[in-house]
Amino acid sequence: AQRVTQPEKLLSVFKGAPVELKCNYSYSGSPELFWYVQYSRQRLQLLLRHISRESIKGFTADLNKGETSFHLKKPFAQEEDSAMYYCALMNNNAGNMLTFGGGTRLMVKP
């Protein structure tokens, strides 16, 4: 069975500090991973997916198959980054449904 774990429920940093939101997964196939973000009172939206290898809003995430991790990083946090972040794994054998982690709330203090 596939599983996504985000060990931190809350991460609090000061503006300008580096951020790393952790995500570990278990999946028997070739994983396809995503980070979704939910800003206050807004809908869940895609932040980035590992196959695109893009940097969105200064965030990057590298898939590490050896450690089964897909941590989200940003070198300098901004107050507007404060949000809920969800790591998700796509099941290509079940209609591309997503398995989400429990989420990490990022708070960036001024």
Binding site for other proteins (CB under 8 A): 4, 6, 9, 32, 42-46, 49, 86, 88, 90, 92, 94-103
**In whole angstroms, how close is the CB of 108 to other proteins at the nearest point?**
21
Give least dist CB 43 to other proteins, A.
5
Task: Note whether 48 and 56 are within 8 A (CB).
Answer: yes
Which residues are within 8 A (CB) of 35 and not within 5 positions of it... i.e. 6 or more apart?
21, 23, 46, 47, 48, 49, 59, 61, 70, 72, 85, 86, 87, 88
**Least distance to other proteins, CB of residue 64, Å:** 21
In this complex, which beta carbon is closest to other proteins, that of residue 18 or of residue 57? 57
- Other CB atoms within 10 A of residue 8 CB: 16
Looking at beta carbons only, is 77 or 88 nearer to other proteins? Answer: 88
Residue closer to other proteins, measured from CB, 17 or 97: 97
